Amino acid sequence: MTADPQGIVARDLAGLAEWTAASALYRTVFGYQGPEHAVSPRLLAALRENAGTVVGAFDGDGSLVGFCYGFTGVEHGELYHYSQAAVVDARAQGRGVGRLLKHAQAEAARRAGARTMRWTFDPYALRNVHFNLNVLGAVGIRFLPDFYDDGDSDRVLVRWDLDRPGGGTRAPGHAAVDSPADDRTAARRPDDRARLRQELADRFAAGGRLVGVARRADRPGRVSYLFAQD
């Protein structure tokens, strides 16, 4: 169990009622209507029993305000935990629920034997980029164009070291990819998006690792993706 000073508690979800509430929160937060996007409570039960994670965040009154789930993966002999999704009720945004969930999920992943976690995020949604890289300290290791094969799902795969879940001290980016940006989104115009997409793909293909994002103080309306080299 993980708690924060605001009285929000994150813990493993147990039982049909909690798994069903988590499934409903997932659909609500993402605005999903079709059954193809549902998270089955039975899937959550299976994950919980087989080295997966099913974690909920509860407010002081016992209301479910956040949920995440994941499963164990292996690549080149490395055992890691993959976090498939994390959602936070709109009423609880800005209260640190996402960070609390990730750290609770990390604890569960360690218990299952993992020493790293992975997940993907939208590289153009700047608040997500900031949270994953600058706040949690995860590192982007791979660019995945159109990850969900729906025409609009470019993703960056990150790796999070569970022995240093705060990120620790890292070398500054050796190179930067710059893009126009507003408060929330990078490269809204189609031509800017195509250019940024290619530059990110090229940087990762050349061995770069995405370690941060920063606003350009000298050039308002632009953002820099900071890369370090292996």
User: Token digits for 179?
Assistant: 């893009």
Give mean pLDDT, residues 142-152: 96
Give per-residue pLDDT as tens, 157-192: 999 999 876 654 455 556 899 999 999 999 999 999
Give per-residue pLDDT as tens, 80-113: 999 999 999 999 999 999 999 999 999 999 999 9
Q: Is 136 helix (H, G, I), strand (E, B) or coil?
A: coil
DSSP labels, 181-220: B-SSBB--SHHHHHHHHHHHHHHHHTTEEEEEEEE-TTST
- In DSSP terms, which residues pair with 79 in a beta bridge? 74
* 8 A C-beta contact, residue 159 and residue 138: yes
* Cβ-based neighbours of 141, under 8 Å, separated by 6 or more: 157, 158, 159, 204, 209
Helices (H), 31-89: 41-49
Q: What pLDDT is stored for residue 37 in this prediction? A: 86
Percent of the chain whose pLDDT exceeds 90: 84
Give per-residue pLDDT as tens, 123-138: 999 999 999 999 999 9
φ, ψ (nearest 5 deg) of residue 19: -65, -40
- State the sign of the Cα–Cα–Cα–Cα dihedral 34, 22, 70, 131: positive
Q: What pLDDT is stored for residue 168 in this prediction? A: 46
